[in-house]
Structure 1
Amino acid sequence: MTAASDRFVGHALGVSWHDLGPSAQRAARNFLHDSLAVGIAGRNAALADEAFHAATGWSGQGGTGLVLGRPGARLTAPHAAFANGYQIHAQEYDCVHEPAVAHPMASVLAVLLAEASRAPVSGADFLAGIVAGVDIVASLGVAVKSPLKFFRPATAGVFGSIGGLCRMRQLTPEVSRNALGYGLAFASGTMQAHVEGKPALAIQVAAAARSAIEAADLARLGFEGSHGSIDGPFGYLSLFEDEVDLEPVLADLGKRHRIEELSWKPFPTGRAAHGAIIALRSLMERRGVTADNLRSFTYRAPPLIHRLVGRRPFAGMSVAYARLCFAWLGAVVLTRGTIDLADFTPERLSDPALLALAERIMVEVDDNGDPAAFVPAVGTAVLTNGTVVSDSVSRQFGSPEWPLSREEHLAKAERCLSFGGLGHAHRGLVDLIERFDELDDVVLALAAVIE
């Protein structure tokens, strides 16, 4: 029986940009654009300067890897991947593959940018690498039938990033398989940081990106890696997941491209909070719910939602914790009508009025047996006059079933660039994305626009 690593390698190396359908190509452009913009905004994320400082110290001199939102900064490839991986994920604004419970682009884009900074890469090869990498990350996630145990954006992200790099550089099957073997050697990332709301979440993504570069470098130097890296008795799936049905997912390779299944994040929060935010906003707009007349709001949803964003707020909580706390996020929405990048200030995180309002908001578990389900869910508000109003959520805003419009996509990108201090580059980046597949050197062209 052919090892799963061989099947993933065969698929990744066979991805051709020019053979992809229009919808896959559009999705690749959209989420490249979205992720670049989010990464630029991430240069002003909490602890982003500290992460960059650490990466600079590790890197030393002589690097060529650009860092998003930091014009002129150059780090060695592993450390540029680390810095960009942190910035893309640190604000919980990067796109997500909901069925896989993974953020593929945070690590995949960080790795491809770092590798492409070493020597010229064409736009067509770069985009093909993105598609291949996302296919691997998402496939590893959707094959799992048990609850999330490790932090999949990092643990699956390292394999997808390696696959994307191998496709972009058109490495041999043997080298690519060996690189995946070192992906297993380096794979890490637990959910404990998520439970505690610690910045280690984004650091785990950053480390996966750095490790992907290192794994590919070792393989190119002739290091032989484990061939059972994915499905061996001590491979990735055996160690990091419980219940797995891999064969149907492998059989789907080439028949669908998971890039088309990605969801935008309309808000810079844990994705699990988005349905609740939309339900609350709907009740505010349609039923007149306000901070003053609300007695309680309950979001009854699948177990994953409570697990990810059902935590309780407290004064002095970290930014990372707050982004994963729907009670506090809901309080901000009740007072502002939305939530955005500038809301996560120390003053707001400890605002007594917001914390008091958040005590009226909760997440409740329903009887859904799907460990990866985000919907269906119901938001119910009880008003001070005794009125009870509800809103049902059957799809997530930003998902393939309810995508951002072109205008909404561009507005998010522009907000991100402005938050990162590069608002002037918005129109140039939009234009570059539309001709990205025609570029001979993607990093040279990108630097000309954002630096």
Structure 2
Amino acid sequence: MKAIDAVVNFVEQQSFETLPQSAIDAALMFIMDSIGVGLSGTRVANRQRILEMARQWGEPSGPCAQVWGSGEWLPVSNAAMVNAYQIHNQEWDCVHERAVVHPMASVLSSMMAYAQGHELSGRQLILGVVVGVEVATLIGACASTGLKFFRPSVCGGIGSAAGICAMLGLKGDTLKNALGIAYSSASGTMQAHVEGSPMLALQVALNARSATQSVDFARSGFSGPHDILEGEFGYFNLFEDQVDPQVLIDNIGRDFQITQLSHKPFPTGRAGHGTVDGLQQLQQEYGFEVSEISAIHVAATPLINRLVGRPIKPDMDVAYAKLCNGYIAATSLLTGNVSVTDFDPEPMRDAERQQLGAKLTTSLNDCQDPNALAPVTVRVTLNNGQSHSVELPAILGHPQRPLSAQAQIEKFYAACLSATPAPDKSQVQVLLDELGALPELEDVNSLVKTMTY
């Protein structure tokens, strides 16, 4: 069996009734998490620019959906784009570590917009999310070499098209065409990541938009290529250097990948989470003061070094700071946490953070996996010569070290209340109640109503 045949067979066979309860529970958890993060994303300045562009690109004339938070009605594809950008623009959304894919940014935004525009149910939405995450992450997990293209956008777009097809019950050539058109629209490279460009999140958003449009094209009878994974110019041959398609073939629909997502406790690149996790543990155990620190050293995987090993500098862009190990470490040490407001202009210019962040160095450990985000070793050396270190085989938020249910709710409240404009706590509670009832909702529009204020 070819990998693309395994994907098609999987999508065609799924229904809400066939999903294991573990996958449904994980979907509800990460839908909640992603909606909270998406509402928080309204506070990012570039979001308004993207919303203005979406308005210019067409007034609602057919199926339409709403922008989370502010509530504007847009064509489904444009709403998906704006909401995807809101989810990913602060690096606070969940991630599948093996695949290095942030699936929910594109999957949930496109799924929710399509479901709202076509009056689909909560169960259809959950089904689509589970299927979309499964396809996006397992395509990414086949790679055994490092990222060149940005998997969250490329794999996320293909997975999103698969999820929408599952919601609608599309099969056969219509399904294959939708996947092929989504693949043909795939875009996004790691250059934006290297430069710390805000284009990183927009790449995810553009692929979410393309996913909705791909399904529309396929439903109209338009054809796309079918051999999009193993084909001569398929994903595995063009987008990755080394792949093992058997990873997808052996795992799809067995251990549902939505149960393997990692929460992000902090609004930074996941590659910086081990630094924060380790420093918090060391401070709690040894009680040293920031003024006592002589040096901080993080020994980490090749991917962590590549993504967040960049030097701290006084003129950082927000996207750069979120991917700067030194700034992340200094923020955690000085404030005890890392929050969305730590990436406002004033904190990023703070001289004390700059000086402390410059004390951090990041180097390679013995890990040879180019896609691994663990293990990590964090060492703090004090002025008196004492040294304290901690080894982290799994980082806080990983399925092996999951956030507690209470921590998940606290993150959701913190995310929602950081939105611009912010809802009040009673509105957040109404939204939380509605999310708890998602499997019983006849129309997703009732959920989106509680997300606009």
How many angstroms apart in 2 are the aligned matches of 1:84 and 1:271? Answer: 21
Displacement of 1:10 in angstroms is: 1.9
2:99 aligned residue: 100
State the one-letter code of the partner of 1:95: C
Shift of the alpha carbon at 1:449?
Answer: 5.5
Structure 2 match to 1:432: 434
Using the TM superposition, give the Cα deviation of residue 446 of structure 1 relative to its aligned residue in structure 2, in angstroms.
Answer: 2.9
String of CA shifts for 1:115-163, please: whole Å, max 9, x gaps.
1122210111110000000000110111111111110000101100000
Corresponding residue of 2:381: 382
Q: What residue number does 1:422 align with? A: 423
Alignment-derived partner of residue 397 in structure 1: 396
SS in 1 for 2:398: coil
CA distance in 1, matches of 2:370, 2:451: 42
Q: CA deviation at 1:429?
A: 1.9
CA distance in 1, matches of 2:230, 2:248: 13
User: 1:290 and 1:90 mapped to 2: Cα distance?
Assistant: 33
1:51 aligned onto 2:53: no
Note the residue ranges of structure 1 that are not aligned, 5 or more in a row. none
* Counterpart Cα distance in 2 of 1:232 and 1:444: 42
Residue type of the alignment partner of 2:428 = H
Shift of 1:171: 1.4
Taking structure 1 as the reference length, the TM-score comes to 0.97
Q: Which residue of 2 aligns with 1:360?
A: 359
CA contact (8 A) 1:127 1:437 kept: yes
**1:31 pairs with 2:30:** yes
Q: Distance in 2 between matches of 1:319 and 1:170?
A: 41
Aligned partner of 2:70 in structure 1 is 70
The Cα of 1:3 is off from its aligned counterpart by 4.4
Instruction: Name the structure 2 match of 1:136.
Output: 135
**Superposition RMSD on alpha carbons, in Å?**
1.3
1:286-307 CA distance string (max 9 Å, x none): 1123320100000101111111
Report SS of the residue matched to 2:140.
helix
CA shift at 1:61, angstroms? 4.2
CA contact (8 A) 2:435 2:447 kept: no
> Does the 8 Å CA contact 2:308/2:324 hold for their aligned counterparts?
yes
Name the CA distance, whole Å, in 2 between partners of 1:419 and 1:252: 38
Taking the aligned partners of 1:448 and 1:314, their CA distance within structure 2 comes to 41
Q: How do 1:79-94 residues align onto structure 2 when only pairs under 5 Å count?
A: 79-94=78-93
Deviation at 1:248, TM superposition (A): 3.3
Q: Match for 1:70: what amino acid?
A: S
Whole-angstrom CA distance in 1 between matches of 2:326 and 2:45: 21
**Structure 2-normalised TM-score?**
0.97
Q: What amino acid does structure 2 have at the position aligned with 1:401?
A: Q
Identity among equivalent pairs (%): 38
Q: Secondary structure at the match of 2:415?
A: helix
Once structures 1 and 2 are overlaid, which stretch shifts more, 60-69 or 325-334?
Answer: 60-69
Q: Secondary structure, in 3 states, of the residue corresponding to 1:156?
A: helix
Name the SS of the counterpart of 1:163 in structure 2.
Answer: helix
- Residue type matched to 1:402 in 2? R
Tell me, in whole angstroms, the C-alpha distance in 2 between the residues paired with 1:376 and 1:7.
32
1:201 to 2:200 alignment? yes
CA distance, structure 1, for counterparts of residue 176 and residue 424 of structure 2: 41
User: 2 CA distance for matches of 1:125 and 1:337?
Assistant: 41
State whether residues 68 and 448 of structure 2, in contact with CA within 8 Å, keep that contact through their aligned partners in structure 1. no
CA contact (8 A) 2:141 2:247 kept: no
Residue of 440, 446, 449 corresponding to 2:448 = 446
SS in 1 for 2:117: coil
Aligned mates of 2:451, 2:113 — CA distance in 1: 17
The residue that corresponds to 1:255 in the other structure is 254
Instruction: Structure 2 unaligned segments of length 5 or more: list them.
Output: none
2:241 is the counterpart of 1:242: yes
1:281-338 deviation digits (Å, cap 9, x = unpaired): 1111111233201000001011111111111111121111100101011111111011
How many residue pairs match? The answer is 449
Residue 187 of structure 1 corresponds to 186
Deviations 1:358-415 (A, max 9, x none): 1101211112111121222211111011111111111111111111111100000001
Q: 2:179 & 2:391 partners in 1: Cα distance? A: 43
Letter in 2 for 1:443: N
